[in-house]
Amino acid sequence: MAAEVLTKFSPDDGACEITLNRPDKLNALNLNMIRRLHEAVDKVDAKLGKVGCLIMDGAGGKAFCAGGDVQMIREEGLAGGSLPADFFFEEYGIVFRLATLFERTGCVQMSLFDGITMGGGVGLSTHGPFRIVTEKTRFAMPEMAIGLFPDVGATQILSRLKAGPAVGLFLGITGTNISAWDCLEAGVATHYVPSARLPELRNKLLSRFRAGLVGAAAMKLCEEIIAETSGGSSAQSESPVLSAENLSVINRCFNAPTVEEIVVRLRAETCDFAAETLQKMFRSCSPTSCKVTLQAMQDLRRTPRSIGEVLQTEYRLSQRFTTRPQPLSDFFEGIRAVLVDKDRKQKWNPSWDSLGEITEEKVSEFFSPLDAGHSRGELHLEDMFAFSESRRSAFPEVHLKSKL
């Protein structure tokens, strides 16, 4: 059986390539892959001050990463297993390590969105400074359809988009699938490179990075190599989701303070885009997930937090969504409808007709600290991966206090 995560260093350790290698599953993350990713990042951390560029990509030509293997989480959760606690605990750990990679080591992460990039794949990649899209890119955070929420740090990513928080909330609540052009417009991606030129990009990075070229110098070299490889090409914009007309609707409707008001504003619009967006929400999106997502993103707009703090909150949310008993859990119902029976007829509880039953008090319960008896306890990433205070301002060394 082939390794599900491949790690390759350049001859003098100046660059490293990590490849997600589960192409038959569109490189969807399981717990084994997450643990192998921790081992790969351990190797990068062990070469502190040497590795200046970390390339992340996916095998098979169809996807960078289609997300997490949530069907297995559902099966284990229904059986009373620990996977819902273990999977998110360890997944958020690797997201944190990659999100703080430059701060810790001066190593620049470059992720290649060559194909489907969704869910957990977004968390592995979009916290880094270089996010490359191609003509094959399809990006989404589709968790609403399975009764979850945009996690892996996406509540922070979406609330900070260049295109504005309304666009982030639109993408988070609707799970809309967007192209390379839209990714660049929103600020999800930073650069466009044609898919056929990605091998050239990889080869240049692996051959031209020398050990010790880190920090600002590494950023500069990455910019130069991307410019050389892109050849002046740009993403095409046929039928963009984030057209000027659609952006006007998004900004009018998704700046609303409540989900109820978003619905009212969409109904007041006269264009097809608004009607289709509302229909999609009613057809596919968990109303509980929508309300929790709105609250999470509003909280971050009011009070910015570190990525470690964001992931701690998201871990609480993940446990509330994946361990609520039947028939209360929209997560179990969403996975059933989308991945098990595949009828896509989710029976949300409460339903959109009972939106008022999802009160502020009920939403707040999702955000409360985990019970003392929780199998993993609270997620304290800054403590688990403690930074050296004397070097925090540059790219401090990481010291692993406890193995995941």
Catalytic annotation, pick one of 4, 45, 57, 151: 151
Distance CA 264, CA 221 (A): 49
Query: Cα-flanking dihedrals φ and ψ of residue 156, to 5°?
Result: -75, -45
Contact, 396 vs 103, CB < 8 A?
yes
Mention every residue, 6+ apart, whose C-beta is less than 8 A from residue 38: 90, 93, 94, 97, 404
Catalytic annotation, pick one of 58, 68, 147, 334: 68
Catalytic annotation, pick one of 14, 106, 119, 120: 120
Instruction: State which H helix or E strand residue 316 sits in.
Output: helix 307-323
Whether residue 120 lies in the annotated active site? yes
Rounded (5°) CA angle 248-252-256: 150
Distance CA 268, CA 20 (A): 44
Contact, 276 vs 250, CB < 8 A?
no
Closest CA to 176 of 73, 321, 297, 279: 279
Instruction: State which H helix or E strand residue 110 sits in.
Output: strand 108-113
Whether residue 106 lies in the annotated active site? no
Catalytic annotation, pick one of 143, 314, 330, 333: 143
Is the backbone peptide bond immediately before 165 cis, with ω within 30 degrees of 0? no
Whether residue 151 lies in the annotated active site? yes
Whether residue 42 lies in the annotated active site? no
Catalytic residues: 68, 120, 143, 151
